[in-house]
Amino acid sequence: MHALVAVTHAQTFVVWFTGISGAGKSTIASIVEEQLRVRGLPVHNLDGDSLRLGLNRDLSFTDADRRENIRRVGELARLFNNAGMIVLVAAISPFREGRDVARQRIGAARFVEVYVDTPLEVAEQRDPKGLYRKARSGQLQHFTGIDSPYEAPLRPEVRVDSSQLSARDAGDEVLRTLVALKLIGE
């Protein structure tokens, strides 16, 4: 195990994984987290599902509450990042505006957007929590991709299709991008 490496503020960054439910955001973020830890880098993973159960449990899934959810997540990521942590965010974050505001608040040079682009039919087949089934049957309202919109990123730094790549390969693609952007060493 490597000793924790001191990271200057200029070297810290946020990797924001976005995509529909079941795309693989959390899985890929965990793989990236593991690889950054192996390199001895200080990293914290903010998972959207966990934040919804804790910090943001007072929010519903209306468009207004989704915007507030991502505003809070962005602020939390900024605070951790300013404290010297590399931050990974895995959250649907359905609206471009919210992701753009997070990028602006954190700083464009320190924000890496990863679009986990997975066809809706593939995400529905995976459906580990049964959410798509509930949304299709009307038991779950405001579900992204079904009766609530998802606005795909226009120019993400990384785009991976988890229906074509394994989670490990997608994580490796993110790491290659971080190296290419000179955010981490090889």
The catalytic residue positions are: 93
Query: How many CB atoms are closer than 10 A to CB 84?
Result: 13
**Of residues 27, 46, 51, the one with CA closest to residue 106:** 46
Spell 94-119 as b/e; 16+ CB within 10 A means b: bbeebbbbbbeebbeebbbbbbbbbe
Spell 133-160 as b/e; 16+ CB within 10 A means b: eebeeeebeebbbbebebeebeebbbbb
The Cα–Cα gap between 184 and 176 comes to: 9
The Cα–Cα gap between 41 and 53 comes to: 27
Under 8 Å between Cβ of 141 and 61: yes
Collapse the DSSP code of 148 into the 3-class scheme (helix H, G, I; strand E, B; otherwise coil) and give the result. Answer: strand
